Structure 1
Amino acid sequence: MLESLGITVEGALAVVFATAGMYFVMVVLVRLLGQRVLSGMSSFDLVAVIAFGAVIGRAALGDSPRLAGGIVALVTLMTIQALVGVVRGTRVGSRAVVNRPVLLMAGREILESHMRTCHVSRAELYSRLRQAGIAHTEDVGAVIFEPSGTISVLRAGRPIDPNLLTGVVGADLLDQDPTHP
């Protein structure tokens, strides 16, 4: 049946394996380079993501792409996404698939080692502080690098609900005394 759609069974299997392989290579690269790769994209980042898609598409579909091969690749990607969603729903899978949030600033102290781990520059941090309306570093209660690659800013002056800090790497570094901004 597949042959009548312009692809052999072997060709379909090659598309499945190439698509799955490229998907997992991309996941590994994003894990190694940090989730910042795909969040808050600049124009250069957007160009890179488009190029990634082109490379993955070419690798998955081979030299002469056909509609059937594209359908097989899309079904493969959607199946992998569904499986990752199921795995993410388990405790062990969640630890393996989802990045943990990381504390970047504890009060006015910038945690340089955490910044390096998350591939966040001071310029990016300061930009996010300005966007959050922070005029002085004394106004910062905490800055957290979220699993999505975004940066959250919590203001000083009030204790932070401990539930909001569950799973945050470095949360133990926060001074929860509201009298110390």
Structure 2
Amino acid sequence: MENIFFSNWESVLRTFLVGLLAYVALIIMLRISGKRTLSQMKEFDFIVTVALGSTLASVLLSKDVSLADGVVALGILISLQYILAYVSARSNKFSKLISSEPTLIFYRGDFLRTALKKERVTEAEVRSVLRSNGVASIEEVEAVVMESNGQFTVVKEGNLSNEDSPLSNVKRIDN
């Protein structure tokens, strides 16, 4: 119980040095891997983001994990995310396998009840999204889409049947 606030200066120095070096290594690897590594665009991007934080915490706080082990672990996570993103961008089949599709939850004045239920979203949440997007009347809105990252997009103009529409790749679940 005596080590609850302070154990020794060696431990504090180790945490400081490993934290500083691990942070610098992580910044360098993230700059090399690109912007997408920390974005929450898809499920696997979110998983990597959480895993990076957990790995960095382990390197910082566990004396059983060396800096080299931590840098290798961070490198593996970033490399796997890069490979998944690379293959996903080049293969629609692979992209659909690892990611969900955007779902239409409101279209032309109607809440799509089956889609709301499937995505576990309430009508009140959709109305909140509309308000936060400055929508004064439901008639102004063509559609609301739940994106594959869980965020909502309000579309004021668009058409499901038009290939140039922002709604052309959105999954519609009929009521």
Shift of 1:52: 9.6
Equivalent positions of 1:1-181 (< 5 A) are: 53-54=53-54, 58=58, 64-89=64-89, 90-155=91-156, 160=159, 161-163=162-164, 164-170=166-172
Cα gap change, 1:100 to 1:50, in 2 (>3 Å):
closer
Where relative contact order (Cα < 8 A, 6+ residues apart) is larger, the structure is 1
Q: Deviations over 1:91-150 (max 9, x none)?
A: 211111232111010122111221232233333211210122222222221111122322
Q: 8 Å contact 2:103–2:145 — kept in the other structure?
A: yes
Q: 8 Å contact 2:109–2:139 — kept in the other structure?
A: yes
Cα distance in structure 1, aligned partners of 2:98 and 2:92: 10
Cα gap change, 1:118 to 1:62, in 2 (>3 Å):
farther
Q: What letter is aligned with 2:80?
A: I
Cα gap change, 1:79 to 1:91, in 2 (>3 Å):
same
- Secondary structure at the aligned position of 1:165 is classed as coil
Cα distance in structure 1, aligned partners of 2:119 and 2:56: 25
Cα gap change, 1:51 to 1:83, in 2 (>3 Å):
closer
Cα distance in structure 2, aligned partners of 1:77 and 1:115: 34
Gaps of 5+ in 2: 1-41
Q: Percent identity?
A: 27
Gaps of 5+ in 1: 1-33, 39-48, 174-181
Cα distance in structure 1, aligned partners of 2:70 and 2:80: 15
TM-score with structure 2 setting the length: 0.57
Cα gap change, 1:94 to 1:165, in 2 (>3 Å):
same
- Secondary structure at the aligned position of 2:105 is classed as strand
Q: 8 Å contact 2:145–2:152 — kept in the other structure?
A: yes
Q: What letter is aligned with 1:68?
A: A
Q: What letter is aligned with 1:86?
A: Y
Q: Deviations over 1:63-91 (max 9, x none)?
A: 72221111111111011012101220212
Cα gap change, 1:67 to 1:169, in 2 (>3 Å):
same
TM-score with structure 1 setting the length: 0.55
Deviation beyond 6 Å, 4+ runs, structure 1: 49-52
Cα gap change, 1:105 to 1:147, in 2 (>3 Å):
same
Shift of 1:159: 5.2
